[in-house]
Amino acid sequence: MSSSIIHIAIVEDDNEIRQTLQLIVDGSSGFACKHAFPDAESAITSIPDLPVDVVLMDIDLPGKSGIQATRELRRKCKSVDFIMLTVQSDDDSIFESLCAGASGYLLKDTNPAELLVHIKEVNDGGSPMSSQIARRIINSFRIIDNPLSERETEVLKLLSQGFNYKDVAEEVFLSPHTVKTHIKNIYSKLHVNNRAEAIYKAIKQKLI
């Protein structure tokens, strides 16, 4: 919505938090908050017909979750931005919210002044995140999809250090036959034919 005033709606089931947020936002220059909802269902019914720029959405709501509400409202309200404002900081909640269409993800310990800055930021096209949330997202991109089991990785590390089959078997307290089976599985999973290729590929892909 093109206006000097940013219009906000709040979806929060805790009465005290909802009322406090509404008072803070509505009492701040450049912001208006005339609509607040205690559950997803009432928000889904009402928000599409309201002059709203940004929705502050809790996740843990009675009935439908805030993630479900965001997904449904996003389809109906193309120009509205959604900021998840929640205590949930687990990976599933973060990524499900972003996939549902949230443009920002803030924790409820965000202080009021920062919250207003973040609302303006998302209204200007940004994607505000609490620092803890941004760190979790960054870390998730560092996770390597390792096809090897923990034992296979251990065996391959020892091979890369120059251990022969017998030495590996003694080091990990397995029979040479079992070690050979692990190595066969390693070759198969990495699509290689020998130890040198396995070590090279594992190092290149940062598997060891």
What CATH code would you report for 6-140?
3.40.50.2300
Q: How confident is the model at residue 138 (pLDDT cuts 50, 70, 90)?
A: confident
Predicted local distance difference test score (pLDDT) of residue 141: 62
Domain with CATH 3.40.50.2300 in the chain: 6-140
Confirm if 180 and 165 have CB atoms less than 8 A apart: yes
**Whole-number Å distance between alpha carbons of 85 and 93:** 11
Predicted local distance difference test score (pLDDT) of residue 120: 96
Mean pLDDT of 33-58: 97
Predicted local distance difference test score (pLDDT) of residue 3: 56
Domain with CATH 1.10.10.10 in the chain: 150-204
Q: How confident is the model at residue 144 (pLDDT cuts 50, 70, 90)?
A: low
What is the pTM (predicted TM-score) of this model? 0.66
pLDDT tens per residue across span 90-105: 888 898 999 999 999 9
pLDDT tens per residue across span 149-185: 989 999 999 999 989 889 999 999 999 999 999 999 9
Q: Which residues pair with 195 in a beta bridge?
A: none
Residue 2 confidence (pLDDT) above 70 = no
**Whole-number Å distance between alpha carbons of 156 and 164:** 11
Identity of the residue numbered 65: S
| Three state DSSP letters for 75-135 | HHCCCCEEEEEECCCCHHHHHHHHHHCCCEEEECCCCHHHHHHHHHHHHCCCCCECHHHHH
Q: In what order do the strands lie in the sheet with 31-37?
A: 31-37, 6-11, 54-57, 81-86, 104-107
pLDDT tens per residue across span 51-61: 999 999 999 99
Residues comprising the chain, all counted? 208
What CATH code would you report for 150-204?
1.10.10.10
Query: What percentage of residues in the chain have a pLDDT greater than 70?
Result: 95
Q: Of 91, 89, 167, nearest to 132 (Cα)?
A: 89
How far lies 140's CA from each of 31, 103, 137, 176, in Å? Answer: 34, 18, 5, 37
With residue 37 as reference, give the H or E element that holds it: strand 31-37
Work out the mean pLDDT of the chain and round it to a whole number. 91
Confirm if 42 and 57 have CB atoms less than 8 A apart: no
Q: How confident is the model at residue 1 (pLDDT cuts 50, 70, 90)?
A: very low
